[in-house]
A and B are shown apart, each in its own frame.
Chain A
Amino acid sequence: MKILVCISKSPDTTSKIAFTDGNTKFDENGVQYIVNPYDEWYALVRALEIKEAQGGNVTIITVGNAADEAVIRKALAIGADDAVRIDADPTDAYFTAFQIAEYAKNNQFDLVLTGKETINYNGSQVGGMIAEAMDIPFISLATKLDINGSTLKLEQEILGGIQVVEVNAPAVVSCAKGMAEQRIPNMRGIMAARTKPLQVVAPVACDVMTAYTSYSLPEAKKACRMIDPNNMDELVNLLHTEAKVI
C-alpha cells in the first residue's frame, strides 16, 4: 500500500491561548508546536503498522511554511519514509485540502489518512474536502482499519455506537482514538529522520473561501460555590432553583 498521511501542527496541549493584533491573530509567543495528536498517534502509527505488516510506503504531507519542518522531522522520526511540504500558509481548510488532493492525485496513493480534527481549529473539514476533490470515498472518525488486498475494512463512530464498513481503495480515512497506540520515537529514528527526503512543493492556485477574522476568550468564571458534603439536598436544590438545569 502506498499511504499518504496528512500532518498538521498544533500548539502543545498545555499552551496558554492568547491573541494579538486586536484579537485577530493567535499569539505564538512562547508556544511550542507539536504534531497534531490525532495525526501522530492514530493516522501515522496505523499507517506504519500497515506498512510493517504488508510492505509499502508511508509519505507524510503538510501544508505549511519552512518553520513547520521541525514538526515534519518529528513525524519522520516516528517512522514515515519521506515527507512533502506544500510551501504555503494553510489559509483555510479548503485551500489546505485542495493542495493535498492535487498532490495525491498526481502521485497515485491507495490510501490517504488524516486525523479526526486539528485540536486548534477543530473543523473536521480537511479529510472530507480532500475526498470530494479526488472524488473518492471518505470514512470519517474511524477507530479501526484493516486491509485485505484492495478492500478496507473499518470501524467508525456513529451516534451512540460503532459501524463496521467495507470500501475499496483508494479512499480517505480520518482517524480517531482506538486506531493505534501512540509511539515514542527512539534515538535511531530521530537520527534517521535527519536524512530522510523532504520535498518542498509549490502550491497550486486555489480560492480561499473562509477566514478567521477575530477571536475572543471565554468570560472568567465567577468563584465556585462550595457545598457542605453533608447537604446534598442543598446542591440539588441549587441546581433546580438557581442554575435551572434540573
Chain B
Amino acid sequence: MKTLVYIHSDNGISKASLEAVTYAKKIGSEVIAVSGGSSSDLAKLGEYGASKVLVDRAVVNGDAQQITRMVAAAAESTGAEIIVFSHEITAKAVAPRLSVRLKAGLISGAIALPDLSNGFSCKVNVFSGKAFGNVTVKTDKKIISLLPNSLQPEVTGAACAVEEFNSNAGSAAIKVVETKKPEGNIPLPEAELVVSAGRGLKGPENWGIVEDLANALGAATACSRPVADIGWRPHHEHVGQTGVAIRPNLYIAAGISGAIQHLAGVNGSKVIVVINTDSEAPFFKAADYGVVGDVFEILPKLTEAVKKFHAAN
C-alpha cells in the first residue's frame, strides 16, 4: 500500500511531523512525503521511513486551498491510497477539504494504527477525551489525521531523495498580513511536559512560580478556563473541553479543582500530578501522584528538587 504523508515545513519540521512519517511507514509498504515551502531539511524524512519527498517550492506559507490542491496532485501522481496528516492547525483546515476533493473518508484525530480486521477502522478520541470511538472508512482512498504524541518517531533508514514537484496549486486567496509569535515558548499541543495552574494561584502576579517550574523541566505552561477568562493568562493556554486538548507525557496541575470540563482536555496525559490544598479536590481521582499542600510552598520546593535532579543526572 502506498502512503502519502503531508509535511508542514514552513517553520521547520516538527516532532509531530516525524510521528506522522513513522505512522505512515507502519501502515504502508512505501511512504512518500509531500511538502511546500523552502525547507532544506526535507531529506531527513527518509530516516523516518519516507522513500522520497516531493516538494513544491511555489507553495510557501500556502493557504488551505493551495495545500489541498498540492496534496491532491501528489496523491494522483503517486497513486497513494492512504494520506496521513499530523492533526495540527494546518491539517485541520486541509484534511477536510482534501476529503471532499478526493471523495476519501477522513479519520480525524487518530490515536492508534488502523485496524484492518473488519474493513478499515481507527481509534479516535470522542466526547473531548472522555471516551474513544472507532471510525470505519468506507471509501477506497482514506485520509488519517494523527493526533500528536500518539507514538514516538522511529529512525529506520537514511536520508532520502527530495524531488521538485510542480503541483499547479494556484495562488492563495487568503492574504497573511502579520504573524505574532511569542518567542521561545513551547507550543502547548506539542509539549511532552506541561505545568498548568488554576484559580488557586490567586492572581497573575503569582505565575512566576509556575514558570520557574516549567523552565526547570523544559515544560510548556497551561491554565484552567477561568484563569484565561479573567485575563490572568492568554487564551491559547486554556486547556479543557472548550480549550486546547492535550496529551503530554506529564501534566502537573497546581491549584486546579479538576472540574469535568477541565479533565476532558487533559485526561489523555500519560501521568498526572495534582497539587491542591483541598484533599477532597476531584482532580485527585484522576491523578497518578498527589500532593496535598499550598502551591506557594510546593511549587518552589518542586522546582528546587527538579533542578537538583537535573544537576545530578
Q: Name which of B96, B103, B138 has the most chain A CB atoms within 10 A of its CB.
A: B96
Which residues in A have their C-beta under 8 angstroms from that of B128? 119-120, 122
The winner among A11, A178, A211, A232 for most chain B CB atoms within 10 A is: A232
Q: Let me know if B97 and A131 touch, CB within 8 A.
A: yes
Please state if B261 and A13 are interface contacts (CB–CB under 8 Å): yes
Closest chain A CB from B73 CB (angstroms) = 15
List residues of B (207-228) whose CB comes within 8 Å of A's CBs: 217, 228
Compute how far the CA of A37 lies from the CA of B225 in the bound complex, rounded to whole angstroms.
14
- Taking a contact as CB atoms under 8 Å apart, the answer to whether A160 and B176 are in contact is no
Tell me whether A209 and B104 are in contact (CB under 8 A). Answer: yes
Of B14, B174, B249, the residue contacting A245 (CB under 8 A) is B249
Determine which of B103, B125, B181 lies in contact with A161 in the assembled complex, contact meaning CB atoms within 8 Å: B181
Residues of B in contact (CB 8 Å), total 98
Q: Is the CB of A132 within 8 A of B100?
A: yes
Given A224-B288, A226-B292, are A166 and B177 also a contact pair (CB < 8 Å)? yes
A123 with B176: CB separation less than 8 A? no
Cross-chain contact B106 with A120 (CB below 8 angstroms): no
Contacts of A227 in B (CB 8 A): 289-291
Flag whether A167 is at the interface (Cβ < 8 A): yes
Q: How many Å lie between the Cα of A164 and that of B177 in the bound state? A: 5
Secondary structure of the B side of the interface?
Answer: mixed
When A129-B96, A157-B236, A232-B298 are in contact, do A215 and B133 touch as well, CB less than 8 Å? yes
CB-based contact A232/B193 at 8 Å? no
A53 at the interface (CB under 8 A from B): no
Minimum distance in angstroms from B165 CB to a CB of chain A: 21
Q: Which of B95, B130, B180, B292 has the most CB of A within 10 A?
A: B130
The answer to whether the Cβ of A141 comes within 8 Å of any Cβ in the partner chain is yes
Are B176 and A164 within 8 A (Cβ)?
yes
A126 within 8 A of B: yes
Which listed segment binds A: B21-29, B46-54, B156-164, B304-312? B304-312
Q: List, in ascending order, chain A residues with CB within 8 A of B101's CB.
A: 132
Q: Mark B104-133, 1 if CB is under 8 A from A, else 0.
A: 111111000000000001001111101111
Cross-chain contact B135 with A213 (CB below 8 angstroms): yes
Tell me the A residues contacting B by CB distance below 8 Å. Answer: 11, 13-14, 17, 19, 37-38, 92-94, 97, 119-129, 131-133, 137-141, 143, 153, 157-168, 177-178, 207-218, 221-222, 224-227, 229-230, 232-233, 235-240, 243, 245-246
**22 A–B contacts, CB within 8 A, in A order:** A13-B260, A13-B264, A93-B106, A94-B99, A97-B96, A122-B125, A125-B95, A126-B96, A128-B94, A129-B96, A138-B65, A163-B176, A166-B177, A212-B133, A215-B126, A229-B301, A235-B302, A236-B302, A236-B305, A239-B250, A243-B250, A246-B306
